[in-house]
């Protein structure tokens, strides 16, 4: 009997490996070389489409991208009195400009942000402000979009899961934003954000008296990320909604009926039956949505181009505009590490089993 069962498990293993062959074959063909090349190039100073010699430079690309420094900003001193100069209008002390304080070797550090602690003013400088900003932009974008999309997606899925007339049509309608081609929907929204009353939002806001109808949504830093998040939420909520819906459909009705009989109300049912049973599909949906959001490229490239970068769009401009392939690859690797960390975090936190 023992021999029989170990044969069985051996057969199972063999079958499993055979089943995995198609996936891994595809992987080997399309993933190994490009990904390997990216890793390798990140340690060089390779230029894209150039006959310049490629040199191995180790971690220099990473160093340049991630170097940060903090320096104190001394107040401007009035030369005659020896006292700090105070701005007459605001009553605040005037500080030196960061340009004098930040180091210039080995990299030119530019100011990222200034802040006050204990009455002293400090400035954070970075060697590649565009990259650090793109990192920050991407993370804010990801957190906000995924949060909103999950919430809205859950809501929409719950609604569509109920029985009502026109449910089928509703499911089709649900997919419309996801079905519109990404670059086209970015253009569509860009058109709606047009900075004059030609654009929909300006027209609407002006009609209701919120603004003069001349807001340049995509040029003002306080409106840029919210606008993009709005576009992405519109476009991708269907994705979450559909996955959650599929998960909802797997929950047997009998469980709800039994709970009704036991006297549990809708809200209780939601938290004790729906959410726990939804966890596996919700988890996978979250993982993929977050991965996608961290790699966001289309909306940033079409709507913001070089005004504000996401990590992927900065990668693109490093490659095409600056033609710095080594640097671009390093950015790619950093994105990979970030995404990998997020994925592992999710998997552990949401308790997704892998064995």
Partner 1 sequence: MKRSLTILLVLGLLFTMSFNALAQDDVELTIAGGSVGIELELTKKAARMFEEKHPGVTVNVLSTPDLANDRLGLYLQFFEAESPKVDVYQIDVIWPGDLAQHFLDLYEYGAEDVVDDHFQAIVENNTVDGELVAMPWFTDAGLLYYRTDLLEKYDLEVPETWEELERAAKTIQTGERAAGNQDFWGYVWQGNAYEGLTCDALEWVYSNGGGTIVNKDKEITINNEKAIEAVNMAADWVGHISPPGVTGLVEESTRKMFEAGNAAFMRNWPYAYSLGNEPEKVISGKFDVAPLPAGDSGNGAATLGGWNLAASKYSNHPEWAAKLALFMAGPEVQKLRATEGSFNPTIKSLYEDEDVLEANPFFGKLYDVFVNAVARPSTQTAPKYNQTSELFFQSVHSVLTGEEDAETAFAYLELDLQDLLGYEIAE
Partner 2 sequence: MNKFRENPIRRSLFYLVILIIVIYLLFPFYWALNSSLKSESQLSMTPATFVPRDPQTNEIDFYLTNYEGVFASDKFVRGLFNSLVVATSTTILALTAGSFAAFALGKLRFKGKTPSLYIILAMTMFPQVTVLSGLYAIINALNLGARFSMILTYMLFTLPFTTWVLTAFFRELPIEIMQSAQVDGATPFQTFRLILLPLTAPALVTTGLLSFIAAWNEYLFALTFTTIDPAARTVPVAIQYFSGQFARQEPFGEIMAAAVVVTVPIVVLVLIFQRRIVAGLTAGAVKG
Q: Which residues of this protein are in contact with partner 1, per CB under 8 A?
A: 48-51, 97, 99, 104, 107-108, 110, 194-198, 202, 213-221, 305-307, 316-317, 319-323
Residue nearer to partner 1 on the CB measure, 103 or 252: 103
Select the span of 21-29, 54-62, 63-71, 89-97 touching partner 2 (CB under 8 A): 21-29
Burial (Cβ within 10 Å: 0-12, 13-18, ≥19) of residue 251: middle
Which of 239, 293, 299, 326 touches partner 2 by CB under 8 A? 239
Residue nearer to partner 1 on the CB measure, 11 or 196: 196
Shortest reach from residue 232's CB to partner 1, in Å = 19
Shortest reach from residue 181's CB to partner 2, in Å = 5
Residue whose structure tokens are 């009998």: 254
Shortest reach from residue 125's CB to partner 2, in Å = 27
Task: In whole angstroms, give the CA distance from residue 310 to residue 132.
Answer: 10
Binding-site partner at residue 281 among partner 1, partner 2, none, CB < 5 to 8 Å by type:
partner 2
Shortest reach from residue 319's CB to partner 2, in Å = 7
How many residues line the site for partner 2 (CB under 8 A)?
A: 104
Q: Phi then psi for 234, rounded to 5 degrees? A: -60, -45
Task: In whole angstroms, give the CA distance from residue 233 to residue 239.
Answer: 10
Residue nearer to partner 2 on the CB measure, 12 or 72: 12
Shortest reach from residue 46's CB to partner 2, in Å = 10
The DSSP code sequence of 263-299 is T--HHHHIIIIIHHHHHHHHHHHHHHHHHHHHT--HH
Residue 243 near residue 285 (C-beta atoms within 8 A): yes
Residue nearer to partner 2 on the CB measure, 140 or 173: 173
Residue nearer to partner 1 on the CB measure, 200 or 317: 317
Residue 99 near residue 46 (C-beta atoms within 8 A): no
Closest Cα partner for 268 from 255, 281, 279? 255
Task: In whole angstroms, give the CA distance from residue 176 to residue 241.
Answer: 12
Binding-site partner at residue 270 among partner 1, partner 2, none, CB < 5 to 8 Å by type:
none
Q: Does 339 bind partner 2 (CB under 8 A)?
A: yes
Strand, helix or coil for residue 103: coil
Q: How many CA atoms lie within 13 A of 198 on its CB side?
A: 7
Binding-site partner at residue 71 among partner 1, partner 2, none, CB < 5 to 8 Å by type:
none
Residue 224 near residue 217 (C-beta atoms within 8 A): yes
From the CB of residue 23, how many other CB atoms can be counted at a distance below 10 Å? 9
Shortest reach from residue 280's CB to partner 2, in Å = 5
Q: CA quadruple 225, 230, 236, 242: dihedral positive or negative?
A: positive
Q: Per-residue string for binding with partner 2, 167-206, x by CB under 8 A?
A: -xxxxxxxxxxxxxxxxxx-xxx-xx---xxxxx--x--x
Residue whose structure tokens are 């449910």: 167
Reading the block at residue 307, the tokens are 């005004």
Q: CA quadruple 104, 106, 108, 113: dihedral positive or negative?
A: negative
Task: In whole angstroms, give the CA distance from residue 112 to residue 116.
Answer: 14
Binding-site partner at residue 218 among partner 2, partner 1, none, CB < 5 to 8 Å by type:
partner 1
Residue nearer to partner 2 on the CB measure, 179 or 220: 179
Closest Cα partner for 116 from 83, 92, 99, 100? 92
Binding-site partner at residue 172 among partner 1, partner 2, none, CB < 5 to 8 Å by type:
partner 2
Q: Does 345 bind partner 2 (CB under 8 A)?
A: no
Q: Does 98 bind partner 2 (CB under 8 A)?
A: no
Shortest reach from residue 271's CB to partner 2, in Å = 18
Shortest reach from residue 132's CB to partner 2, in Å = 17
Residues 263-282 that bind partner 2 (CB under 8 A): 280-281
């Amino acid at each position: 009997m023992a021999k029989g069962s170990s044969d069985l498990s051996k057969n199972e293993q063999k079958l499993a490996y055979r089943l995995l062959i198609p996936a891994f074959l595809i992987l080997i063909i399309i993933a190994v070389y490009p990904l390997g090349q990216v890793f390798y190039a990140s340690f060089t100073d390779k230029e894209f489409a150039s006959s310049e010699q490629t040199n191995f430079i180790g971690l220099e690309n990473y160093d340049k991208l991630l170097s940060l420094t903090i320096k104190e900003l001394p107040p401007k001193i009035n030369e005659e009195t020896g006292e700090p100069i105070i701005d007459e209008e605001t009553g605040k002390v005037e500080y030196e400009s960061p340009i004098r304080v930040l180091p210039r070797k080995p990299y030119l550090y530019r100011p990222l942000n200034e802040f006050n602690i204990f009455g002293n003013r400090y400035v954070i400088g970075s060697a590649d402000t565009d990259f650090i900003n793109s990192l920050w932009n991407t993370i804010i974008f990801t957190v906000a979009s995924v949060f909103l999309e999950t919430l809205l997606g859950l809501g929409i899925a719950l609604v569509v899961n109920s029985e009502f007339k026109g449910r089928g049509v509703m499911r089709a309608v649900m997919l419309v934003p996801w079905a519109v081609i990404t670059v086209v929907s970015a253009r569509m929204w860009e058109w709606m954000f047009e900075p004059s009353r030609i654009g929909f939002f300006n027209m609407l806001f002006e009609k209701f008296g919120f603004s003069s109808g001349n807001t340049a949504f995509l040029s003002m830093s306080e409106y840029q990320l919210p606008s993009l998040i709005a576009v992405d939420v519109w476009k991708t909520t269907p994705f979450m909604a559909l996955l959650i819906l599929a998960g909802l459909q797997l929950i047997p009705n009998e469980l709800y009926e039994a709970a009704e009989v036991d006297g549990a109300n809708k809200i209780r049912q939601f938290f004790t039956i729906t959410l726990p049973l939804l966890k596996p599909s919700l988890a996978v949906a979250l993982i993929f949505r977050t991965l996608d959001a961290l790699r966001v490229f289309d909306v940033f490239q079409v709507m913001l181009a070089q005004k504000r970068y996401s990590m992927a769009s900065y990668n693109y401009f490093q490659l095409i505009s600056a033609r710095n392939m080594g640097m671009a690859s390093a950015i790619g690797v950093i994105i990979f590490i970030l995404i990998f960390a997020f994925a592992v975090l999710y998997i552990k936190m949401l308790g997704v089993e892998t064995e």
